[in-house]
Chain A
């Protein structure tokens, strides 16, 4: 009896050690497997590639993953990047953006611009997936749906259409007649649009999903976008299979006017919300692409993948800023010198090199690269040198600030962030730097998403994590949020001069003046007041199989798969 018990113990130990060894051993194994996969892919490619001409694979099915299911397929209701990816495939707006970020004709063949008046000439061969022609009235119908106060539920992004004359008034119920809104169908193929104010980025906006046309058969049918049989679309693909929570599948639309340039026959999207699983199945050749914007490459694995998947990993800067915001109404951050001290005492390079690892760029301003300025990118025309990292200076400023406020010891400080592995790491690194560089103990607290947002919006915090991505390609999308009482101004910041600069920029058609206003506003925001503590500009980190070509990423990081194709490197 006793013997068998010690045997049991021994057995247990052996098993435990065995597991350990197996796990250790498997580590080395994986490298081989991954390399093999890559090597095979490479071989086939070189076998078939004669004089650089790409042959298409027979099976043009693209397999990607969305980390969340789009909450809707109705362009009027969409609000998120997953919906954006899918809707881009199923619909086509007046314009599109090509690889270089240029606005190119799509449903509209050409357009004339006369100040605030735009005339779009629709192409006559554009058809809905049921064969009906796409007309100017389809656009009007869609826009009326978005703006109408009777739409149930109301379109949350209706304000994206407020550029149209009287659109806001109509949406808010101050005008009840849609014909007073500045949009008009001159004939079936001519669409005339009048804007409230000169809007240099308006053309780009028309490629955004809120501006997509909708087939008029959906009138009075609120639930059409739930039923795939009722989804009549004008884009390159139609929704053919949707298993809730599992998969979404779109198939090439044979009625699409540009179908000759659509090579994919089908796009099959899995809906897996685990970055590790996504990457594993990518490496297992179950997916053709992994990572941003629809998924994520686990941060921990990026340094190793940079090495292992050298040719597949792609890192691309996008127009988004990661920053911490101070509640300027709460102690001790109601003092600008203390805010400055905290901003200066962080080593951003160390964070992007060792914590976020995705090739992000340290940020010292708010408007990220990729946003258009006067002639070049805004960021190239106005360097983000609003402050520098300087420990000595930071300590001095902290002391000065404490003196001004009469502190002998700083009040207790809590940094809040929303629950996520990445945010947690950054918060811990920043708090540790504050402790080491300023000698300040900062508590970090993760909060459940909605609780976090609620706390931030109610100014119930001291310093909080934040991020902002562009809605359109213009500095305005970053600058107008900080006006006094702005819906997204979660800092309590209020500055008369700032408000005036933004107001001017909104109504001015003098491009140089707009540009100068933005530059001055950003200076007020960061240099003079340090309302925010920019950390870095985001990057898109993704991995694509060598056989996947023609995927387009725009300035904001949104992805367009419609013109992608698969070479015969894939078996």
Chain B
């Protein structure tokens, strides 16, 4: 079938030698789909595993998470520091053998604080992204799939929600509810999922008129099957890209809240709040900004690369 002289694109099914095996001459056997033996997910996992870059990113993420859990505790045991105790005679000191990442403006150990910050940022980012994903996909999927009046109303609702000043909602939430991590996550997700829902909606709207959907529908597939079996898996690329972005978005949004004094309550810190604290003096105390900035960038980088890998692995059309 690939008689096209322009050989820029790979064919949808790149056949390799392993894919070929002898089959009997039985007509019925020839109709059996050979790859059915492995489920779609296992298949994806296999493909993901072979993607070195994505796996490296995954490992880095794992390491960051692990360090964020263990390091503050371990260093606390060894050196007797914690993330909140001040040492006013030892402020803004450069990294040394006793303070690996230096100290901050209150003489607190930056190593512990950075990893505590990473812990908070990861919690905020992941929690917010998960909630965004869940609500966004369901909401966006329904909008895009049903279209018409349903879409119109749901879309309007999300538009209105989106245009209500976020800062107002946040301040109100933080005033009404106890200032805590949960409140901040809630504040971040209250409008955070909308973006996801729009992406999903756009994708579904585009996909639902495709021939294979039509075919499935004509074969009597229900809404649920159509949506979750056919449409969403095919929209998985943009969804994954959006998720990998909603983690940093949430982390940055939290930093923005810190910037306005509405973030996590000191002495607890997040990576974002540490960076914004360090911004005014970063020329002189670069370590105060660089370590959290590098960690946040590394985290984002890994999320993105991993997200890419995941997309490649999940997208059936890019199968090798």
Contact = CB atoms under 8 A, between A and B. Distances in A.
B286 A30 contact: no
A561 B282 CA distance: 32
A300 B262 contact: no
A27 B105 contact: no
A16 B56 contact: no
A23 B267 CA distance: 27
Contact of B88 (A23, A299, A355, A418): A355
Contacts of B84: 428, 432
A354 B91 contact: yes
B53 A20 contact: no
Contacts of B30: none
Contact of B179 (A351, A428, A445): A445
B171 A16 contact: no
Contacts of B91: 354
A226 interface: no
Given A26-B283, A444-B265, A446-B265, A354 B89 contact: yes
A304 B266 contact: no
A421 interface: yes
A16 B298 contact: yes
Contacts of B107: 354
A190 B87 CA distance: 63
Contact of A428 (B89, B266, B290): B266
A6 interface: yes
A432 B88 CA distance: 10
B85 interface: yes
A451 interface: yes
B169 interface: no
B312 to A, nearest CB: 11
A9 B53 contact: yes
Contacts of A12: 301
B280 interface: yes
Contacts of B182: none
A365 B84 CA distance: 30
B267 A428 contact: yes
Contact of B106 (A16, A26, A30, A425): A425
Contacts of A301: 280-281, 283-284
B174 A300 contact: no
Contacts, number: 94
A260 interface: no
B65 interface: no
Given A354-B91, A428-B106, A428-B267, A448 B52 contact: no
Contacts of A5: 51-53
B179 to A, nearest CB: 6
Interface string A311-354: 00000000000000000000000000000000000000011011
Contacts of B92: 300
Contacts of A432: 84-86, 106
Contacts of A26: 283
Contacts of A445: 179, 265
B99 to A, nearest CB: 16
Contact of B266 (A16, A298, A351, A446): A446
A424 interface: yes
A448 B174 CA distance: 9
Contacts of A27: 283-284, 286
Contact of A2 (B52, B85, B283, B298): B52
A429 interface: yes
B254 to A, nearest CB: 15
A2 B86 CA distance: 49
A276 B277 CA distance: 11
B284 A276 contact: no
Interface in A48-90: none
B15 interface: no
Nearest to B298: A16
A275 interface: yes
B160 interface: no
B276 to A, nearest CB: 9
A446 to B, nearest CB: 6
B297 interface: yes
A276 B171 contact: no
Interface string A6-32: 101100100010001001101100100
B286 A24 contact: yes
A458 interface: no
A122 to B, nearest CB: 48
Interface in A431-445: 432, 436, 444-445
Nearest to A17: B294
Interface in B58-114: 84-86, 88-89, 91-92, 105-107
Contacts of B297: 16
Contact of B284 (A300, A419, A428, A436): A300
A427 B106 CA distance: 11
Contacts of B53: 5-6, 8-9
B9 interface: no
Interface string B272-289: 000001011111111000
Given A300-B105, A354-B88, A275 B280 contact: yes
B17 interface: no
B52 A419 contact: no
Contacts of B279: 276
B140 to A, nearest CB: 31
Contact of B286 (A23, A353, A421): A23
Contacts of A427: 266
Interface string B173-191: 0110001000000000000
Contacts of A350: 88-89
A421 B279 CA distance: 11
B261 interface: yes
B8 interface: no
B153 to A, nearest CB: 34
B1 interface: no
B280 A298 contact: yes
B106 A421 contact: no
B260 interface: yes
A36 interface: no
Given A354-B88, A448-B262, A451-B175, A23 B290 contact: yes
A352 to B, nearest CB: 11
Nearest to B86: A432
A424 B266 contact: yes
Contact of A20 (B51, B171, B290): B290
B106 A429 contact: yes
B265 A16 contact: no
A390 interface: no
30 contacts: A9-B53, A9-B56, A16-B297, A16-B301, A20-B294, A24-B290, A299-B105, A300-B105, A300-B280, A300-B284, A300-B285, A301-B280, A301-B281, A304-B284, A351-B88, A353-B88, A355-B105, A355-B106, A418-B261, A421-B280, A424-B266, A425-B105, A427-B266, A428-B86, A432-B86, A436-B85, A444-B266, A444-B267, A446-B265, A451-B175
Given A300-B92, A354-B88, A436-B85, 9 more contacts: A6-B52, A9-B53, A9-B56, A23-B290, A24-B290, A275-B280, A276-B280, A428-B106, A446-B261
Interface of B: 51-53, 56, 84-86, 88-89, 91-92, 105-107, 171, 174-175, 179, 260-262, 265-267, 277, 279-286, 290, 294, 297-298, 301
CB-CB nearest 9 A-B residue pairs:
A419-B261, A300-B281, A298-B280, A354-B88, A432-B86, A5-B53, A276-B280, A350-B88, A304-B284
